[in-house]
Structure 1
Amino acid sequence: MANIFSNIVEQARLTSQALIEFGSSLFEPTVRLGVTGLSRAGKTVFITALVHGLLRGGRFPVFEAMASGRIARARLSPQPDDTVPRFAYEAHLQQLLTERQWPESTKQISELRLIIEYQSQNRAMRELTLDIVDYPGEWLLDLPLLRQSYEEWSAETIRLSREGDRAHLAGAWHFEIAALNPNAAADEALAQTVARHFTDYLRSCREERFALSLLPPGRFLMPGELADSPALTFAPLDRLEGSAPSGSLWAMMRRRYESYKDAIVRPFYRDHIARLDRQIVLVDTLTALNAGPDAIGDLERALTAILDSFNVGRNSIISSLFAPRIDRILFAATKADLLHHTSHDRLERILERLVSDAAKRADYSGARIDAIAMASVRATSEAHVSGPTGMLHAIMGVPIAGERAGGRTFDGESSIVIYPGDLPVNPDAIFEPGESRFRGLSSASSDEADYRFLRFRPPALERTDAGVPALPHIRLDRALEFLIGDRLR
């Protein structure tokens, strides 16, 4: 009964908030754009490049409002939420342009407000407010927990941990829980030990050579101020017989799991996800492809969970009054500049294949779904190299200092030309069952294969009399057109 009453109160609060925001949007049209992605997908770089391009008049031929000259100017404005940190746009831009370093990954929620002054297609001057909300994708994967009991989550998490690459990564944690009696008296020191082994397992799964994605609870990987708190001191347990007695270890873990949902997951959904209009999900597809079948399968499950977490559907006056709904979601395979342009469409088709089942369900509710391959900041240019069978499509750039490949350590200053390999023309070749489910990217030789996912420095840009030109990109304009182009008509 208490939960039912709590849900009614929460829905009333969301409806009230929706009424206020809907009324405001009638006079100040606003799009709240959520930007998320899993670790190393490039969220910070995407936002920085997008904002810089709008402020500086970047080369966006597919973004119709800018290509046609209808955008008069864009300017930054104070963000609306006083309790949310501001996205550090200026600092991140300094890192990209002056230091030629990639910004740190997203570790918390942040916001940035951009006002776009434009001429509508009937020649009236208008303004669109774009509120960009940046948040870690790992937190988004917590939302399915709201529909799971502790017992259901424990069973599913332990089942997954016994499959594929996860099985040996979970060894220490499995050893710890195998010796536990879940009906024994609650013990804080024991709870901390089990939670630490579980957290270590999640961190190991996220390492680049495994590149696993479905790793809730998200705050275990990005705890922030919650580190070492009871809210993060729980873990799945196995082998419960009957019901857990009061005061037992199982009962304590269940209570903390529920507290995690109530104190962390529900407020995150209520205050941020439920208020979004549009969403882009950045995906490091290449790293998963390089890691192999387990990483690909895990990424597919994670993307399905992400899409299922959104309250998707076509916005209308009625739906806006009662619960804002995300009506456009863009999945973007990032780091396309690590491939020659002949593989960009292939990368896009692979991502489409990964989200196809979940996208069909969202389409039924009226949401528009799209998938693209892109690079928010292009760090490479294209070249050709001679291979055993003729000329090969190559890329050229400056690897980050300290990167190693083929027995060579790079100095961060010298440019190199490499053959990155080709993606298959037919994406179904990657998803065939059996041992050939994923065969890897083709490469000219084993040495050249080592180079495939070198990290390159951001490009050097010359300052002109008009200032620093917009950062080079791949299909960033197409992303903008899909996400906000219709709101600038």
Structure 2
Amino acid sequence: MSTPPPPSALDDPTRQPWHRAGALLTDMMTPTLRLGVTGLSRAGKTIFITALIRNLVSGGRLPFFLPEAEGRIERAYLEPQPDDQVPRFDYEGHLEDLARDPPDWPESTRRLSQVRITIEYRSASALRRALGISRLNLDVVDYPGEWLVDLPLLEMTYDQWCAEAVEQARAPRRQAHSKAWREFLASVDPSAPKDEKIAQRGAQLFAEYLKAARADDHVLHTTGPGRFLLPGDLEGSPLLTFCPLVLGDKPSYGRNSLAAMMARRFESYKTHVVKPFFRDHFSRLDRQIVLVDVLGPLNEGGDAVVDLQRALNAILRVFRIGSGNWLTALFTRRIDKLLFAATKADHINSSSHDRLEAILRVIIDRAMGRAEDTGADVGVQALAALRATRETDAKVGNEWLPCIVGVPMPGERIGDRVFDGKTEAAVFPGDLPANPRNALKPGAAPAGLHFVRFRPPRLMPPGIDGESPPLPHIRLDRALDFLLSDWLA
């Protein structure tokens, strides 16, 4: 008769309490890193998070992500949503969009969501090994880019907001969109008695102006409120029934005036909408990546780039930035690493990536300076979380030009050519300005620039080995290395 094998630690009832205690201690000592993926609408937040998850959990090609390159990451996997009050990021739904034939980009974010990725790794740190730390919970929060423009309101009074909003509405690029609302303003006396019907009409016209401007690609980088664009369950409530008024240089209005009612609702909006959003999410971040679509505004011209610069500087002023580490993060939250990323780098040839980074540096120069003064580590990169093109050289006349090849989205055009969304095309996007400051000069877009949107690559099903091909990217691994490597050391 063969001798039975000795009982394992799990089978031994005397060891089970110790095993459970060890597992509990490991859970308690697993640090959580909150990564903020921030960017104005259409900067690519949803696809960045989707590609980040996919490459971590499926073993993507990340040669410049040091823990992965050193073979120290054991595995990464999705955990159940840890916050009962926040919906889960729809990762699987976004993969379904990419797996369609033809593939589609996932829809832009329309609500707050969150996802937790647990990364198991072999630490190179003796202290962490001694403490039993071999896992990291990575919490990533997604939210509509339209909500981001609300943050500067925290530092503004109603009078200041009115002056800025009215000035923006009068700008040449917005005059057509704001015409009906500006005509309404001309007919309204801010010191007249408060009137709900007038407030409703003003809010409606103001929201229609914002939505019309937003529908024009890359036209709207302006002060909020962001919920006027995506109201959700606030639609029709007094929290969204207000608008800017023309108050003059030295505004004066009575307690029961129309302007006073608008001002109270403006402050209520900040109190009940903006502050909780900032408190519950932005003030709890450890690391931050700010995604910036530079190419879109470049397509519109210098005025649009200046709008982008103004919006980003206003937003970033309210972030809690400062140096720290994984241990101090247990007691206080500050953003100690901040990465600015120019997205859609696959829309231009790699020979222009350094120019794209240089333009982004000029756009966020002041914000970078403030962050560096706090001791935070700041980086700038050009990346594409999901690469939709490849590169080639094409001969035009007697000249060889660096082009990109992909399937342009339906309706995209260059000159008289309109793409059908099915046919691959080689596109010369043009040369970015050698002097990055020229990108901020007022006026039309530089001659010769043609940036079009491309279909994403199709997500292929698993092969006979059960593994799916990795998603192509540009510098996603370098971004992960900057943001995560020291927590996985």
Structure 1 residue 107 corresponds to structure 2 residue 110:
yes
Deviation at 1:408, TM superposition (A): 4.3
In structure 2, the residue matched to 1:11 is none
Q: Is the 8 A contact 2:72 2:122 kept in 1?
A: yes
Q: Is the 8 A contact 1:138 1:215 kept in 2?
A: no
Deviation at 1:456, TM superposition (A): 2.5
Distance (Å, rounded) in 2 between the aligned partners of 1:318 and 1:118: 18
Q: Which of these residues, 229, 249, 259, is aligned with residue 221 of structure 1?
A: 229
CA shift digits 1:33-60 (9 cap, x unpaired): 1112111111111001000000111111
Q: Which of these residues, 269, 284, 290, is aligned with residue 281 of structure 1?
A: 290
CA shift digits 1:397-423 (9 cap, x unpaired): 122344444444444332111211121
Structure 2 residue runs of 5 or longer lacking an equivalent are 1-24
Q: Could you tell me the percent identity over the aligned residues?
A: 49
In structure 1, the residue matched to 2:92 is 90
| Alpha-carbon RMSD | 2.4
Matches within 5 A, 1:391-410: 391-410=400-419
In structure 2, the residue matched to 1:464 is 463
Q: Is the 8 A contact 1:140 1:309 kept in 2?
A: no
Distance (Å, rounded) in 1 between the aligned partners of 2:430 and 2:38: 28
Distance (Å, rounded) in 2 between the aligned partners of 1:83 and 1:344: 40
Q: Is the 8 A contact 1:378 1:459 kept in 2?
A: no
SS of equivalent to 1:454? coil
Structure 1 residue 373 corresponds to structure 2 residue 382:
yes
Deviation at 1:279, TM superposition (A): 1.1
Deviation at 1:351, TM superposition (A): 0.6
Distance (Å, rounded) in 2 between the aligned partners of 1:361 and 1:269: 19
Matches within 5 A, 1:291-370: 291-315=300-324, 320=329, 323-370=332-379
Distance (Å, rounded) in 1 between the aligned partners of 2:445 and 2:40: 24
In structure 1, the residue matched to 2:477 is 477
Distance (Å, rounded) in 2 between the aligned partners of 1:127 and 1:320: 16
Structure 1 residue 426 corresponds to structure 2 residue 435:
yes
In structure 1, the residue matched to 2:214 is 206
Deviation at 1:305, TM superposition (A): 1.4
Q: Which of these residues, 46, 49, 57, is aligned with residue 48 of structure 2?
A: 46
Q: Which of these residues, 129, 148, 161, is aligned with residue 156 of structure 2?
A: 148
CA shift digits 1:324-350 (9 cap, x unpaired): 111111111111111111111211111
In structure 2, the residue matched to 1:187 is 195
Distance 1:152 1:380, change over 3 A: same
- Partner AA of 1:138 in structure 2: E
Deviation at 1:231, TM superposition (A): 0.5
Distance (Å, rounded) in 1 between the aligned partners of 2:358 and 2:408: 28
Distance 1:314 1:332, change over 3 A: same
Distance 1:401 1:154, change over 3 A: closer
CA shift digits 1:226-273 (9 cap, x unpaired): 112111111111136763223221111011101101110111111111
In structure 1, the residue matched to 2:396 is 387
Distance (Å, rounded) in 2 between the aligned partners of 1:367 and 1:136: 26
SS of equivalent to 1:297? helix
Segment drifting more, 408-417 vs 257-266: 408-417
Q: Is the 8 A contact 2:408 2:452 kept in 1?
A: no
SS of equivalent to 2:97? helix
Distance 1:395 1:110, change over 3 A: same
SS of equivalent to 1:95? helix
Deviation at 1:454, TM superposition (A): 3.4
Q: Is the 8 A contact 1:423 1:442 kept in 2?
A: no
Q: Is the 8 A contact 2:459 2:471 kept in 1?
A: no
Q: Is the 8 A contact 2:95 2:459 kept in 1?
A: no
Distance (Å, rounded) in 1 between the aligned partners of 2:393 and 2:49: 32
Structure 1 residue 270 corresponds to structure 2 residue 279:
yes
Structure 1 residue 33 corresponds to structure 2 residue 42:
no
Deviation at 1:211, TM superposition (A): 2.5
TM-score w.r.t. the length of structure 2 is 0.88
Distance 1:151 1:25, change over 3 A: farther
Q: Is the 8 A contact 2:193 2:258 kept in 1?
A: yes
In structure 2, the residue matched to 1:74 is 76
Distance 1:419 1:76, change over 3 A: same
Distance 1:25 1:373, change over 3 A: farther
SS of equivalent to 2:359? helix
Structure 1 residue 233 corresponds to structure 2 residue 236:
no
Deviation at 1:210, TM superposition (A): 5.0
Deviation at 1:387, TM superposition (A): 1.5
Q: Is the 8 A contact 1:199 1:221 kept in 2?
A: yes
TM-score w.r.t. the length of structure 1 is 0.88
Deviation at 1:215, TM superposition (A): 3.4
Deviation at 1:136, TM superposition (A): 2.2
Distance (Å, rounded) in 2 between the aligned partners of 1:156 and 1:425: 33
Distance (Å, rounded) in 2 between the aligned partners of 1:208 and 1:359: 29
In structure 1, the residue matched to 2:20 is none
CA shift digits 1:171-196 (9 cap, x unpaired): 22111111101111222121111111
CA shift digits 1:303-337 (9 cap, x unpaired): 11121120111126997577411111111111111
Q: Is the 8 A contact 2:190 2:257 kept in 1?
A: yes
Distance 1:210 1:403, change over 3 A: closer
SS of equivalent to 2:364? helix
Distance (Å, rounded) in 1 between the aligned partners of 2:408 and 2:35: 32
